[in-house]
Amino acid sequence: NYDYTFVSWSGCDYVSQDKCIVRMTSNKEVKANFAKIQKYTLWVYKNVSGGGTVRSQPYGIICDTLCRLTSYDFAQGTVVTLFATPAPGYVFKGWSGDCSGTSTSCTLTIDKEKKVYATFDRLSYTLTVNKTPTTGGTITSLPSGINCGSTCSFNFAPGTKVTLIATPAPGYAIISQSSWYGCDSNPSFKECIVTMNSNKTVSVIFTPVTTPTPTLPDLIVSDIYYQSPYIYVKYCNIGSGWSSSDFLIKLRNNQTGQEYGGNVLYRFKVPQPGECKTTGGYTPSLIGLAPGQSASITAIIDWEQRVRESNENNNALTKTISLLSLRELSDWLAALEAAARELQKLLGL
C-alpha cells in the first residue's frame, strides 16, 4: 500500500514553500520530485457492540459505540495513540494484540500491519453475603445469582434492586430485622433489600433456637386389689405434666386370657402430677373369675394410648388376686388348721 509525497522542485529560479517561480528569459525545464510513502493498515477490534468507542490521534480510527471492527492506513513510522471511552454502564478492561495494559490510551508506531483488540465489560457491582454460623441456613436472591449455600457473592448491574431471602436450617431462626447488617430495608425478618450502586456486603445472623421439652404425664398402675365384691385398681400420675385426654383401664385374666377393656362411657381423667386415684369396682366375672378363685391379673392403663406420656412403657402391673373375703379367708384358715390337727392325731404326733 503506497502513497506519494512532494519532495522538491528543480529548474526553478526560486522556491517559496511549495511554489516554484520561473522567469521566462529562455526555454526552461522544471521538475517536481515526488517520493513513494509506505503505508500499513492498523486494525482495531472491539469485543462487544455498545461497550464504548475507540478513536485515534492522528485522525483515522473511528470506532463508535456500535462498531465492532474498523481500520485505517497510516504512513510508515507514524506514531498513533488510541483512546478507549466506555459507554454508560460499561467499563474498559484493557488492550491486547499489538497494544497491552489497562489504561484507556495506547501508543504504537506503525512499522507494519498491526491489530489491536479493545475489551469492554458491562459495569457491575459485587454483592457478598456473610452468614453466622455458616450452617445456620441458606440465603438466595431475586434476581437470581446468590445461593449461599455455595455461591455467596455475585456481580449485579448498577441500580439493580436485589432481595435476599433467608431460609433458616432446622434449629435456627431469624429473630428480628436487626439480625441483618448492610441492608437498605427489611420488609420482614427473613428478607433484606439492597440497591447495587456500589460493591456491598450483607451479613446475617442465624440464632439457635431450642424447642422446649413438653411436660407430660406418666401414668402407672400402682396396685390391684380385691375388696369383696369388686376388684379395684389404683393408678397414679408420676410425670411432671398433665393432659386433658381421658383413658380406660383394661383387666386381663392371665390364666384364661379373658379381658375387659372398661366402659367407654365412663373414662378416667388424668390425675394431677404426683396424684393417685382408685377406680370404681370391676366385677370379677367380667374377666372370668368366680368367688373363691384366685388368678394372676394384669391391669393396663391407657391401653388405647389416648394420652401422650413421657414414658409409654410402664403402663401395666401384674398381681395375683384371690377372690376371698376376710371372713371367708378366716374360715378357710380355721378349716385348714382343724384338718392339720386331725392329720396329726392319725399320725400319732
* 167/2 Cα distance (integer angstroms): 71
| Residue 21 grid coordinates | 517561480
User: 3-class SS at 215?
Assistant: coil
- 146/197 same-domain check: yes
The confidence score (pLDDT) of residue 329 equals 56
User: 3-class SS at 210?
Assistant: coil
Quickly tell me which residue has 384366685 as its cell: 294
Which domain-ending residue is among 153, 180, 208? 208
* 283/288 Cα distance (integer angstroms): 9
214 falls within a domain: no
- 108/175 same-domain check: no
The confidence score (pLDDT) of residue 264 equals 72
The confidence score (pLDDT) of residue 32 equals 93
The confidence score (pLDDT) of residue 160 equals 94
228 falls within a domain: yes
- 279/268 same-domain check: yes
335 falls within a domain: no
4 falls within a domain: no
* 342/5 Cα distance (integer angstroms): 162
Quickly tell me which residue has 433489600 as its cell: 193
Sheet harboring 137-142: ordered strands across? 147-148, 137-142, 161-168, 191-195
Look up the CATH number of the domain holding residue 282: 2.60.40.10
The confidence score (pLDDT) of residue 164 equals 96
* 346/211 Cα distance (integer angstroms): 78
- 159/185 same-domain check: yes
Q: Is the full-model pTM beyond 0.75?
A: no
Look up the CATH number of the domain holding residue 174: 2.60.40
79 falls within a domain: yes
* 203/174 Cα distance (integer angstroms): 12
- 291/244 same-domain check: yes
- 102/134 same-domain check: no
| Residue 258 grid coordinates | 379373658
7 falls within a domain: no
How do strand 200-205 and strand 125-132 relate by DSSP bridges? parallel
| Residue 50 grid coordinates | 455498545
Range of the domain at 83: 31-122
The confidence score (pLDDT) of residue 50 equals 85
| Closest-CA residue to 104 (of 92, 91, 96, 116) | 92
- 322/228 same-domain check: yes
- 249/323 same-domain check: yes
Quickly tell me which residue has 422446649 as its cell: 212
* 231/35 Cα distance (integer angstroms): 135
| Per-residue pLDDT in tens (0 to 9) along the chain, 349 residues | 567 888 899 999 999 888 999 999 999 999 999 888 889 999 999 998 889 999 999 999 999 988 999 999 999 999 999 999 999 889 999 999 999 999 999 999 999 999 999 999 988 999 999 999 999 999 999 999 999 988 999 999 889 999 999 999 999 999 888 899 999 998 888 999 999 999 999 999 999 998 777 899 999 999 999 888 889 999 999 999 999 999 999 999 999 999 998 877 779 999 999 999 999 888 888 888 887 788 999 999 999 999 999 999 999 999 999 886 555 556 656 666 777 777 787 777 6
- 280/263 same-domain check: yes
* 227/278 Cα distance (integer angstroms): 12
| Residue 297 grid coordinates | 391379673
The confidence score (pLDDT) of residue 290 equals 82
**CA triple 117-118-119, angle to 5 deg:** 115
**CA triple 272-276-282, angle to 5 deg:** 125
Q: How many residues does the chain have?
A: 349
The confidence score (pLDDT) of residue 349 equals 66
The confidence score (pLDDT) of residue 28 equals 92
Q: Cβ(125)–Cβ(158) under 8 Å?
A: yes
| Closest-CA residue to 114 (of 66, 85, 79, 62) | 79
Domains contained in the chain, number: 3
- 60/147 same-domain check: no
* 25/268 Cα distance (integer angstroms): 149
Contacts of 110 (CB under 8 A, 6+ apart): 40, 42, 74, 75, 76, 77, 78, 79, 80
343 falls within a domain: no
- 260/280 same-domain check: yes
- 87/141 same-domain check: no
256 falls within a domain: yes
Q: Cβ(321)–Cβ(295) under 8 Å?
A: yes
